[in-house]
Structure 1
Amino acid sequence: MIIHTVAFKTKHPAGSPQEQAFLTAGVVLAKLPMVNNFQCYRQVGQKNEYDFGFSMEFTNQADYDAYSNHPEHVAFVENIWKQEIDVFLELDYVKHESF
């Protein structure tokens, strides 16, 4: 299993309709068939600059690759993400084989 996470800050004012529209557009990615356990998080800590996070799980590398190349994901990144995100950090995890 691969856990894909991204922490981010939008260009929109906190609580604005534009911010909410962005989050709603991102949550649509949860409907892609290879995406499991999609979550949208709001940051509550003060140790970084990010306001939100998305996380999702993929059964294997093939599903992750299919997601990365899926037309809906590509369109979201090109038409929405790149225009509306200030900063982000993407992390992908697999379970450490020793634990």
Structure 2
Amino acid sequence: MNKGAIRHMAVFTLKSAPDTEETRAFLRDGAEILSAIPGVNHFEVLRQVSVKCDYQYGFSMEFADQAAYDAYNNHPDHQAFVAERWDTQVAAFQEIDFMV
């Protein structure tokens, strides 16, 4: 483990159906916007395949430390994505933060 590094994961289900342009746009735009924020490392878009989990997708990213994670959360591009896209297009979600 890297002392202080954080892996942030958000697993979620979208209001739009899988394999629609709305879903593809959300995942594509999320990756483009969020991965460009300074301090974001190893950004991934994930598709859930387990029958034991109700969520459909995930965003995973790493931060060098708590300060980088805090800067990401407060970044205007992150806040705009949450307000304009996440809050309107996500039906349900769970956030998980691990020390790595």
Band of TM-score, shorter chain? over 0.9
**Structure 2 residue ranges without an equivalent (≥5):** none
Q: What amino acid is aligned across from residue 10 of structure 1 in structure 2?
A: L
* Aligned residue in 1 for 2:12: 8
Name the SS for the 2:92 alignment partner.
strand
Confirm whether residue 91 of structure 1 aligns to residue 93 of structure 2: no
% of aligned pairs identical?
43
- Residue by residue over 1:32-80, the C-alpha shift from the partner in whole angstroms, topping out at 9 and shown as x without a partner, is 1210000110011110111100100000110000000000000000000
Alignment RMSD (CA, Å): 0.7
Task: Report the count of equivalent residues.
Answer: 95
Aligned to 2:21: 17
Report the TM-score, using the length of structure 1 for normalisation: 0.93
Runs of 4+ in structure 1 off by over 2 angstroms are none
* Separation in 1, partners of 2:38, 2:67: 13
Question: What code does the residue aligned with 2:48 have?
Answer: Q
* Counterpart code for 2:11: A
Structure 1: which 5+ runs fail to align?
A: none
TM-score (norm 2): 0.92
Which has the larger displacement, 72-81 or 25-34? 25-34
Instruction: Give the alignment partner of residue 38 of structure 1, picking from 14, 37, 43.
Output: 43
Q: Deviations along 1:7-32, whole A, 9 cap, x unmatched? A: 00000011000000110111021111
* Residue 49 (structure 1) aligned with residue 54 (structure 2): yes
Give secondary structure in 2 for the equivalent of 1:92: strand
